[in-house]
């Protein structure tokens, strides 16, 4: 079965990439912005990318995948490639953003979204690409959230490609759980974010679908957006690295990576339940979870000040 193959391929590749990263000293060195305290190999996202594309090509070859979706997802490869280069030698944010923008434009052309919805569609892809990168800061967080989003999307939109992404990330997760022995790096986080952005656009056929995607990704976009605006109001340079996201400050306040990650997964289950039980009131569900996240932010503020 292709999903088991993708899972075990990802597992094997993650182990291999970790060994290579250690030998080549491709390490994430802790600094004052880090949520970890020991040097850790990075670039593990390579395993996710390769495994995902193996599954993608298999689905396309068997004829169960729409051609537009297939070719649009190929544009995530340049994003992953520049992420890998950044994991190894560090390149400027402007160069990474340029490649992300060009890739997003190419994907939108394939999806035929270059007319009235071009600008908002472009922003969706670029925002998801970068917010997944922003929130890749504690062990198992982006990995577990991606698996959740993929599985829920499979249930709701009935496309086997979501299982391919879930399997590719699941093979990486054992090495990324606390204490992580490898990080996915920009290679994995930007690739996943770009891919989720494509999924968001392709599978949003109506207003109800948009609400579903906003709900199942709410933990990510709320934290990233809320933190960004707070930093803007605080007159901070938003391109400067920081550790002020909710999940980062929760860890700084003494909570373990595992506890924070599992707590947010618990929130995810509530979100999943709300989609079914509040089927005709998704706006209410979305506003409710935004309110809950806002309250959580105020609780975290009392533990660790946003302005420290």
Question: Counting beta carbons within 10 angstroms of the beta carbon of residue 141, is it exposed (0 to 12), middle (13 to 18) or buried (19 or more)?
Answer: buried
- Phi, psi dihedral angles at 144 (to 5 degrees): -70, -40
- Quickly tell me which residue has 């996710």 as its tokens: 48
pLDDT value at 34 more than 80: no
Average of per-residue pLDDT across 292-306 = 88
Is there a domain that residue 171 lies in? yes
Per the structure, the complete domain to which residue 39 belongs is given by 2-303
Per cent of the chain over pLDDT 70 is: 98
**What is the H or E stretch that residue 40 is in?**
strand 40-41
Q: How many CB atoms lie under 10 A from the CB of residue 241?
A: 10
Q: What is the pLDDT of residues 139-189, one digit of tens each?
A: 899 999 999 999 999 999 999 999 999 999 999 999 999 888 999 999 999
If pLDDT is split at 50, 70 and 90, which confidence band does 250 have? confident
Is there a domain that residue 193 lies in? yes
Residue 32 confidence (pLDDT): 64
Average of per-residue pLDDT across 95-100 = 96
Task: Say how far apart CA 299 and CA 308 lie, in whole Å.
Answer: 15
Average of per-residue pLDDT across 66-77 = 97
Is there a domain that residue 115 lies in? yes
Residue 113 confidence (pLDDT): 86
Is there a domain that residue 93 lies in? yes
- Rounded to 5°, the CA angle 56-60-63 comes to 145
Is there a domain that residue 308 lies in? no
Tell me the torsion sign for CA atoms 115, 120, 125, 130.
positive
| Per-residue buried b or exposed e for 159-192, using 16+ beta carbons within 10 Å of the residue's own CB | bebbbbbbbbbbbbbebbbeebbbbbbbbbbbbb
Three-state secondary structure call for residue 43: coil
pLDDT value at 116 more than 80: no
If pLDDT is split at 50, 70 and 90, which confidence band does 129 have? very high
If pLDDT is split at 50, 70 and 90, which confidence band does 82 have? very high
Q: What is the tally of structural domains in the chain?
A: 1
Round the average pLDDT of the chain to a whole number and report it: 91
Task: Say how far apart CA 157 and CA 252 lie, in whole Å.
Answer: 37
Average of per-residue pLDDT across 256-280 = 89
pLDDT value at 30 more than 80: no
pLDDT value at 16 more than 70: yes
Task: Say how far apart CA 62 and CA 261 lie, in whole Å.
Answer: 36
Three-state secondary structure call for residue 204: coil
What Cα–Cα distance (Å) separates residue 167 from each residue in 49, 52, 54, 160? Answer: 11, 8, 11, 11
Task: Say how far apart CA 138 and CA 78 lie, in whole Å.
Answer: 25
Residue 120 confidence (pLDDT): 93
Whether the CB-CB separation of 236 and 181 falls below 8 Å is answered with no
Residue 305 confidence (pLDDT): 84
Tell me the torsion sign for CA atoms 214, 60, 185, 183.
positive
Per cent of the chain over pLDDT 90 is: 65
Whether the CB-CB separation of 30 and 37 falls below 8 Å is answered with yes
Q: What is the pLDDT of residues 193-239, one digit of tens each?
A: 999 999 999 999 999 999 999 999 998 899 989 998 888 888 888 77
Task: Say how far apart CA 156 and CA 160 lie, in whole Å.
Answer: 11
- Nearest Cα to 289, choosing from 278, 280, 301? 278
Residue 134 confidence (pLDDT): 86
Strand pairing class (40-41; 27-28): antiparallel
If pLDDT is split at 50, 70 and 90, which confidence band does 248 have? confident
What is the maximal distance between C-alpha atoms in the chain? 54
Is there a domain that residue 170 lies in? yes
Task: Say how far apart CA 249 and CA 306 lie, in whole Å.
Answer: 8
């Amino acid at each position: 079965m292709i999903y088991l193959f993708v899972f075990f391929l990802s597992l094997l590749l993650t182990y291999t990439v970790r060994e290579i990263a250690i030998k080549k000293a491709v390490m994430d060195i802790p600094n004052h912005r880090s949520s970890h305290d020991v040097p850790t190999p990075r670039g593990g996202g390579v395993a996710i990318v390769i495994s995902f594309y193996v599954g993608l090509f298999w689905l396309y070859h068997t004829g169960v995948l729409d051609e537009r979706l297939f070719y649009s997802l190929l544009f995530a490869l340049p994003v992953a490639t520049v992420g890998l280069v950044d994991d190894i030698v560090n390149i400027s944010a402007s160069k990474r953003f340029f490649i992300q923008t060009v890739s997003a434009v190419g994907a939108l052309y394939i999806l035929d979204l270059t007319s009235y919805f071009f600008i908002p569609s472009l922003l969706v892809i670029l925002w998801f690409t970068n917010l997944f990168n922003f929130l890749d800061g504690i062990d198992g967080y982006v990995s577990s959230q991606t698996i959740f989003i993929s599985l829920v999307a499979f249930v709701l939109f009935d496309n086997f490609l979501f299982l391919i992404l879930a399997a590719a990330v699941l093979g990486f997760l054992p090495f990324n759980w606390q204490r992580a022995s490898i990080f996915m790096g920009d290679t994995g986080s930007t690739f996943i974010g770009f891919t989720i952005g494509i999924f968001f656009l392709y599978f949003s056929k109506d207003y109800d679908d948009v609400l579903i995607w906003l709900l199942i990704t709410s933990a990510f976009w709320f934290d990233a957006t809320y933190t960004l605006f707070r930093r803007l109001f605080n007159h901070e340079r938003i391109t400067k690295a920081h550790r002020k996201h909710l999940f980062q400050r929760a860890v700084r306040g003494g909570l373990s990576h595992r506890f924070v990650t599992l707590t947010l997964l618990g929130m995810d289950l509530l979100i999943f339940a709300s989609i079914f039980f509040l089927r005709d009131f998704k706006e209410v569900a979305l506003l409710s979870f935004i309110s809950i996240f806002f309250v959580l932010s105020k609780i975290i503020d009392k533990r660790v000040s946003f302005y420290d």
